[in-house]
Amino acid sequence: MSHVFARNSRRSPPRAVGGEGCYLIDESGKRYLDGSGGAAVSCLGHGDAEVIAAVQDQLSTLAFAHTGFFTSEPAEALADLLVSKAPEGIDKVYLVSGGSEAMEAALKLARQYWVEKGEPQRGRVIARRQSYHGNTLGALSTGGNAWRRRQFAPLLLDVSHIDPCYEYRHRADGESAEAYGARAAQKLEDELLRVGPETVMAFVAEPVVGATSGAVPPAPGYFRRIREICDRYGILLILDEVMCGMGRTGTLFACEQEGIAPDICAVAKGLGAGYQPIGAMLCSAEIHQAIADGSGFFQHGHTYMGHPTAAACGLAVLRAILGRDLLPRVVRQGETLDAALRDRFGQHPHVGDIRGRGLFRGLEIVADRDDKVPFDPSRGTAARIKTAAFEAGLICYPMSGTIDGRQGDHVLLAPPFIISDEQIDELVEKLAQAVEAAVT
């Protein structure tokens, strides 16, 4: 047993030794189709020559310069490119090393903004159940997944969790998607009025929900209504695009499809595409100005923030996504994947829902398709799908999570944007075998 502290402390996973396009290779030579890009990370696949060259160049020019002393050319170029493509109003970029750091920075910036504005009573966050925002304590407090939070409860911030926007389970018979979206968004106003809007600093949500629920898109109009409510009560809207951003849903930012812009936004995963650890917190000019006009110093930071090599990587990845026309490809291949999933699982007795956007797709696994009852958690259905798929040479991202107070199972798919039609067939075929093995 090696001295690596693996998350599963009883069993070490196989050793990965190489990556080629959409495949990872272990030390026995076995090839795995990367159907989830790890966890929605590897958007360009493995071994991308341009990104590797950009990282190598930067390493030999300037690997690191501490942001307490310097800025760097790749950090400036990446921030400029991100802002030029970001939703309206976004003006500044704070580069960090991953998604949790980006969310932690977002929460602390929101809090400092209100302190600088002379409203220090605004300390409460409203977020949603069935959400994941990271594993550091602030981000974990914001996430609404009961089992991840349970043992850390005494360490967590006081966050209100409202219902997610989740058509499959919460939209009533005969209710239109728009009416449901408005009803789901109303939960935010109800909670604001319950706790007192003057005590709330921000509402936090993933535009398309990833790890906790399996690519759940919002109902039409939901986020426009959320934006209106935030504006009416003067609270900040923080969007967590760590998983769904950077082109994963077919637009660079998932919120573009909702026709809204956040005050603060977090991205990560696809920004580094697995070639470097990087994340970013983006914010509006107004928020940045409030700090500049106040104390003049954002009271937060990490040694590796603004890392030049990571920034050069993010810049190369972003240029590849935009310059190789990968966004329309994500839409096209997303439709192909969706059609293949519907063809294979549309009538499956244990697949309750097939959903998602672009190359961000999810299946909800149920014991009974008609009444949507999940499998008994003791069966470990999601874990069984993961194991069976891995044995068959497919990496997918099954998870069990708390759905309406009980444990349920889903599978998340987030393959590289370069996935071919044949590889989509291979993915769906292997996933079907794994689901069959797990539910029978």
Binding site for ligand PMP (CB under 6 A): 39, 98-100, 103, 132-134, 206, 210-211, 240, 242-243, 268
Question: C-beta of 41: minimal distance to ligand PMP in Å?
Answer: 8
H or E, element range at 40? helix 37-40
The residues facing 96 across adjacent strands are 279
Q: CB under 8 Å to 282, separation ≥6 — which residues?
A: 82, 83, 86, 90, 92, 93, 94, 264, 265, 266, 267
Q: By C-beta, is 340 or 395 nearer to ligand PMP?
A: 395
Q: 279 with 266: CB under 8 angstroms?
A: yes
Question: C-beta of 307: minimal distance to ligand PMP in Å?
Answer: 14
Q: By C-beta, is 3 or 7 nearer to ligand PMP?
A: 7
Q: By C-beta, is 145 or 284 nearer to ligand PMP?
A: 145
The residues facing 162 across adjacent strands are 128
Question: C-beta of 244: minimal distance to ligand PMP in Å?
Answer: 7
Question: C-beta of 104: minimal distance to ligand PMP in Å?
Answer: 9
DSSP state of 21: B
DSSP per residue over 393-426, as a string? TEE-EEEEEEETTEEEEEEEE---TT--HHHHHH
Q: Distance between CA atoms of 121 and 111, rounded to whole angstroms?
A: 10
Tokens of 424: 């989509």
The residue of the chain with the least Cβ separation from ligand PMP equals 99
Q: How many CA atoms lie within 13 A of 35 on its CB side?
A: 32
Question: C-beta of 184: minimal distance to ligand PMP in Å?
Answer: 19
Q: Distance between CA atoms of 38 and 55, rounded to whole angstroms?
A: 20
Q: By C-beta, is 24 or 103 nearer to ligand PMP?
A: 103
Q: By C-beta, is 278 or 367 nearer to ligand PMP?
A: 278
Question: C-beta of 210: minimal distance to ligand PMP in Å?
Answer: 5
Q: By C-beta, is 74 or 277 nearer to ligand PMP?
A: 277
